[in-house]
Structure 1
């Protein structure tokens, strides 16, 4: 369920299915009906287990500082469906969404697509209408069979690969990597982060088949620490960007920053742009992302760690940012995630857990999470809004985590209160 999506479907009598149906045939046929807007866009395509959103955010900021008009497509939503489709940082408006729905209705797309496929078509139509210079497209799930995989990008980015969505993508790193590597296109470069060896082998094999260059972190490009929290990124061709200071917290975010800078060099070559070191420095400092170690109110931090790999990164950041503080967790997780493993990781830095129910059909019940927890103090929390306000008032460091869908609900409820 995508908040506010059904209201447009009902208004325009355009039906779509709310289940996941991997495959490209349906969306390819639909895109023909609306004039193949995806072929009119310059794109960068991102897939991976973690780091897509952060890498996209750095890349968006860098592109904007170089004067480009940027569209971005992300999932899941932050508040509702509008913020998944943005141009120049502005969510698609109701009027603009109505325009693309009118186009999709006239094209006869009703009943032919899933919700996410229909949303992908709407995104391409809006980006073309908005005359974006570059469209940053985040895959919804996997890559190979994801509806976004109809683009031929300037570059593809795969920040990380770990086990996820095993019911759709397979239960091995190799099978997951096969799906992620599916976004690699013939003769178009792919930029990759620090991947497990078995995943890296799959990516290189796929890139070789498609004659695609691979730019790998710590092989063709690097990020190094300087003094006073600054860092620099350099590559084997002598390019070097220095004095980089991030607002986005977490040591792992330096890697995502380096991926974005490396990808932007490919964008600049393709669009014949002059790269400015000063613009990159400013962009990196200005880049912020909701739900990534985001302090939503004093002492209350939201972080969308929803699998073991991202949970480990959150723990590293907590240790770095709050080394001597007592941590309280407020947790809500989807039942198809590695819930017990995630909780065991969080228990490394806290012994106080509150579990909450949130509005998602895939959410694990709070009392079931509580049963899986080994924490000394654990409880089911009914009214987390008032609890978070009290925690903030008493200066008690609290981390809300487990699912991006939970973060969406928390942000909305706090805003309404």
Structure 2
């Protein structure tokens, strides 16, 4: 369930299904009725298992530093449905959402879409009306059959591939890669992160079939540490950008940053912009993303890691930045995740664990997670807000993780705190 979406559905009597239904037929039919607003947008399209949101945020920072107005459609929400659709950091307003839902009702779209398809259509209509220079679109699940995959992008970006949504995408990395590679469009360039050879081959094959210029991390561009900052190098464009410093922590974010710079080169060509190293530096330095090793209070962090690959990145970041701290985790998980692998990874660095229920039909009960955990110090917590309000000792770091839905719930309850 998307918080506050039902408010607009009920107000305007627009029905939609709260299920995942892969395929483009329904949304293509809806967009035809609405005059194809998605065709009016200059889009960068993002898919992949981990790193989509961070890479998107780096592109947003760089683009805005170069003077472009930027719309973005991301999921899931941080607090409620409004923050999934933004322009220059400002969420869509209630008045604007009302107007668009009235439009959907008058167009006769009630009962024809899923919740995510409905919200995707709202985003397209909003951006077509407001006309930001650039629109950054994050796929919801997969890519090939995701409702966002109706756009023709300036460039497509896939940061990583890991096991996820195996019921829909298949239970191998190559089958998942085939879904993600489906966002490639004929003659539109694409950028991908570091991948194993057999997974990378899937993207290479898709690129050849669609005449896509494919830029690969480690082959065409890299990022390296240099004297407390980072250096980006691109052998195709023969450019270097140095003194890059970012707020998004973790070695994996360096790669996401490099993908964003590479993608923005294609955006710059589209808008006939001259790349400015100082503006790239500023865009990288100011890029932030809620729920990605985000400090919300002193010694309290939110991280939306929710699969083994992203949890491993979180663990590596903790080892790098808090090697001598006591680590306390507040964890909530969806039942369709690899819960045992996630717990095993967190237990490498965790000194105490608090397990909480998530108000989501796909959630695993805290009591079940408790039984699966091998941690010595583990507890079930009925009110996760306590984790934010109880004092934190100087040698302790508390981290809320396991699901972006858990982070969203806590934010809604703690608007006056964080």
- In the superposition, the TM-score normalised over structure 2's length comes to 0.98
Matches within 5 A, 1:72-91: 72-91=72-91
Q: Please say if 1:7 is aligned against 2:41.
A: no
**Corresponding residue SS for 1:20:** coil
Contact kept in structure 2, 1:169 and 1:175, CA below 8 Å: yes
What is the deviation of 1:232?
3.1
What is the deviation of 1:49?
0.2
Distance 1:146 1:266 in 2: 23
What is the deviation of 1:105?
1.3
- Which residue is equivalent to 2:54? 54
- The CA deviation string for residues 272-325 of structure 1, in whole angstroms up to 9 with x for no partner, is 111111100011011111100011111111101100000000011000110111
- The CA deviation string for residues 164-190 of structure 1, in whole angstroms up to 9 with x for no partner, is 000010111111000000000001111
**Corresponding residue SS for 2:108:** coil
- Which residue is equivalent to 2:138? 138
Change (3 A) 1:111 1:298: same
Change (3 A) 1:49 1:391: farther
Change (3 A) 1:330 1:395: same
Contact kept in structure 1, 2:191 and 2:214, CA below 8 Å: yes
- Which residue is equivalent to 1:193? 193
Distance 1:202 1:234 in 2: 23
Contact kept in structure 2, 1:327 and 1:350, CA below 8 Å: yes
Q: Please say if 1:111 is aligned against 2:107.
A: no
What is the deviation of 1:247?
1.1
- The CA deviation string for residues 229-254 of structure 1, in whole angstroms up to 9 with x for no partner, is 34334333311111101111111100
**Corresponding residue SS for 2:354:** strand
Contact kept in structure 1, 2:223 and 2:230, CA below 8 Å: no
What is the deviation of 1:197?
2.0
- Which residue is equivalent to 2:335? 335
Change (3 A) 1:415 1:394: farther
Contact kept in structure 2, 1:161 and 1:196, CA below 8 Å: no
- Which residue is equivalent to 1:232? 232
Where in structure 1 do 4 or more consecutive aligned residues deviate above 6 Å? none
Q: Please say if 1:365 is aligned against 2:361.
A: no
What is the deviation of 1:394?
6.1
- Which residue is equivalent to 1:290? 290
Matches within 5 A, 1:285-324: 285-324=285-324
What is the deviation of 1:391?
4.1
- Which residue is equivalent to 2:180? 180
Distance 1:245 1:153 in 2: 28
- Which residue is equivalent to 2:216? 216
Contact kept in structure 1, 2:355 and 2:366, CA below 8 Å: yes
Contact kept in structure 1, 2:158 and 2:191, CA below 8 Å: yes
Distance 2:370 2:20 in 1: 29
Contact kept in structure 2, 1:297 and 1:392, CA below 8 Å: no
What is the deviation of 1:100?
1.1
- The CA deviation string for residues 379-406 of structure 1, in whole angstroms up to 9 with x for no partner, is 1011221233224366621111000000
Contact kept in structure 2, 1:16 and 1:115, CA below 8 Å: yes
Matches within 5 A, 1:262-301: 262-301=262-301
Distance 1:327 1:387 in 2: 13
- Which residue is equivalent to 1:409? 409
The runs of 5 or more residues in structure 1 that have no matched partner are none
Distance 1:154 1:237 in 2: 17
Q: Please say if 1:376 is aligned against 2:376.
A: yes
Distance 1:136 1:264 in 2: 11
Q: After superposing the two structures, state which structure 1 stretch, 262-271 or 196-205, moved more.
A: 196-205
What is the alpha-carbon root mean square deviation over aligned residues?
A: 1.1
- Which residue is equivalent to 1:102? 102
Change (3 A) 1:165 1:391: farther
Distance 2:229 2:188 in 1: 34
Distance 2:281 2:387 in 1: 39
The runs of 5 or more residues in structure 2 that have no matched partner are none
Distance 1:94 1:231 in 2: 42
**Corresponding residue SS for 1:327:** strand
Distance 1:6 1:412 in 2: 16
